[in-house]
Amino acid sequence: LTQEKFQKKNILIGVNKDEGLFVYLLPGFTIYNSSAQTIQMYRDNMKRMNWYLSPSTQDSIIAEYLPTNTSVGNANRDAVQAASGDRDFVCPTINIGKAFSGSDMGNTVYMYYLTYRASTEVWPEYFGTIHGADIQWIFGLPLNKSLSYTKEEVALSKDMMDYWSNFAKTG
């Protein structure tokens, strides 16, 4: 990546709104309740996620994601989840896109940001639009009538399948 030696190809990359699903490996997170976090749990989990960084960098990250009202446990939970998603998926995806488009070969990067949460989602609502949620749309899962997706979701899936297949054909 740092040498920016890429073939001249357009790429399509994307992320989902709530990529930070892996926080559920941290203490205090579970799928069985809201996983509300105290401010101390917030700070501890942010440090756990960023154990390899200097204490001053950890403090900067903690401050960057700190909710406005830290007495609201769900806000603390959501902040840890956002930081995790940014660290693990969003920032690396953006960095790859920047490196690829910044090369002198004229590459174009197309990026999507999925915010829609399926009506059939099995994960708790506070998980949001999780990592991998885009796969169901791209591969046409809503076209299976037995899965009870809405008409709008079938249309969304068809649109995304068209976008991806057209991109594969034409770049």
pLDDT of residue 101: 86
Yes or no: say if 153 and 134 are a contact pair by the CB < 8 Å rule: no
Q: What would the two tokens of residue 47 be?
A: 């440090």
Please give the model's pTM, rounded to 2 decimal places.
0.87
pLDDT at 2: 66
Which region, left, alpha or beta, applies to residue 111 given φ > 0 means left and ψ of -120 to 50 means alpha? beta
> How many CB atoms neighbour CB 24 within 10 A?
15
Quick one: pLDDT at residue 4?
64
Token representation of residue 167: 């991109």
Residue 93: count other Cβ atoms within 10 Å of its Cβ: 17
Residue among 92, 66, 89, 124 at smallest CA distance from 19:
89
Question: From first to last of its 171 residues, what are the pLDDT tens digits of the chain?
Answer: 567 666 788 899 999 999 998 888 899 998 888 999 999 999 999 999 999 999 999 999 999 999 999 898 899 999 999 999 999 999 999 999 988 887 666 789 999 999 999 999 998 888 999 999 999 999 999 999 999 999 999 999 999 999 999 999 988
Residue 1's pLDDT is 59
Look at strands 109-114 and 11-16 and give their pairing.
parallel
What is the rounded distance in angstroms from the CA atom of residue 142 to the CA atom of residue 140? Answer: 5
Query: Residue 33 CB: number of other CB atoms within 10 A?
Result: 9
